[in-house]
Amino acid sequence: MEASVIGSSQAKIGRTDLAFRQLGFCNSKQIFSRQDKIFFDPRRRWRSAGIHVSLKAIQSGAASSEKFAGERATTRRSRPNDSVPLFVGLPLDAVSDCNTLNHARAIAVGLKALKLLGVEGVEFPVWWGIAEKGAMGKYEWSSYLALAEMVQKAGLKLRVSLCFHGSRETKIPLPQWVSRIGEVQPSIFFTDRSEQHYKECLSFAVDDLPVLNGKTPMQVYQEFSESFKSSFSSFMGSTITDISVGLGPDGELRYPSYRQASSQILGVGEFQCYDKHMLSLLQQHAQAAGNPKWGLSGPHDAPGYDQSPNSNNFFKEHGGSWETSYGDFFLSWYSNQLISHSDRLLSLASTTFSDSSMTISGKVPIMHSWYKTRSHASELTAGFYNTVNRDGYDTVAEMFARHSCTMILPGMDLSDEYQPQGSLSSPELLLAQIKTACRKHGVQVSGENSSVFGAPGVFDQIKKHLSEENVVVDSFTYQRMGAYFFSPEHFPSFTQFFRSLNQLELHSDDMPTNEGEEAAESLSMGSVLGKNLQKQAA
């Protein structure tokens, strides 16, 4: 029996090699390590319904091996309400700035590898700057439709992120017609106190102003969303199950308050309230509060981007301006602009897709630097009025609950142990605080990792978050597919991570099924794909 199973598995790997050669890739010989040979164990039986995280069966690899080696065991499968669907993000540039599919063959092989592994689905970004690039109201969905069809044919679910921002990482700007308006009216962009403009996202202050050829950004976002809904109607509710709406820079609910730090210690960032529209709102708020002088500018004593909290007076641990009446006035106004913006966008998305049985979600960032200080400076400049004396996430969670939206929380791979010395950072405490607010208001949580290039122990850290009691985790998306993701250094570990989340105890007389062979094929395809993507990148 074992010989026939191994022979069948080897035959299937041979078919995989042929498929790779037909796609222009090399074969898959000599890529299995001794550790990887466990996929050929005939005593293991895998099911094809899709891997779900079993919150009651998270075990170490050693414990797993002992269970599978047992002569008699009872097959156990987690109940649906104990499971968390797992997704993988597609490359940010899956559709290029020229509206063509990038790495189409590699993505097709990657989708098959993920399906064989048992992943629930994938996530991909739909860029405003690509789909509505040339002219307002002129949409080009063809490449995104082709990508959605690839996902559908692979038998995977799809989460779509509507990106109303640009990306410096992938060099995808805002639509050309918007950028042209910005050249004449730079005040539509966020501006810092040095009058530098952030051109990857529109200022929240122009949401309801007719600055885009007579239309407001909210009107343009709604028309974009309605066109997407109409064009992808055949995928809605079947393939496409989730719509995430971009709420700010990098799709996150925040101001563009930080830039690349000049040292290992992240600075506090800067307030982004110096475009004329933000200053106009600040002046109106100051006049209504009876202190017109408070509306002339942002805080004059705040540090710069890469500076620490104590380098100036505003964020000082004791006696800083953030604890004064003026500090409360400014921080309340600044945070309210952020929350009002997200309220408008989540309301728009919920209304637009209300009849499509879609889950609507938005991403809240984990601004964890300086969390152990009293002022929480990095959170304040990003727009979250969260300090030692004030819970800044309760209002955010309440707003998500009001629109029945899921909150995406990245950073579930981060641990306090690996944070830079001196940053007084605590991603674990911050995540715990936000999840507590979500639990209070009944908001579903969808987790993400911050980077595929994580510190040691990231998979254990993710499993810890997913196994916590009394936290409603709706799903988890692992970011993101690419050369490193499928590399021999990463993909086998990722595969073991997925398997450890869905351990099954088996009868010794269970007959092996082809799912075990498919797991081997998945690893083979992933490893070869990673090598080829790395060669292409080089």
Give me the active site residues, please.
Answer: 252, 448
Strand (E) positions, 42-156?
Answer: 86-89, 121-127
H or E stretch at 362? strand 359-363
User: Which 3 state secondary structure label does DSSP give 158?
Assistant: strand
Nearest-10 Cα torsion for 526, 85, 445, 167 = 30
Integer Rg of the chain from CA: 25
CA nearest neighbour of 97 among 191, 167, 23, 2: 167
Check: CB of residue 124 under 8 Å from CB of residue 156.
no
Question: How far is Cα 461 from Cα 392, in angstroms, rounded to an integer?
Answer: 25
Helix (H, G, I), strand (E, B) or coil at 445: strand
Using CB atoms within 10 A of its CB, is residue 534 exposed (0-12), middle (13-18) or buried (19+)? middle
The C-alpha atoms of residue 155 and residue 160 are separated, in whole angstroms, by 16
Name which of 294, 322, 328 is nearest 378 in CA terms: 322
Residue 497's nearest CA partner among 453, 442, 537, 460 is 460
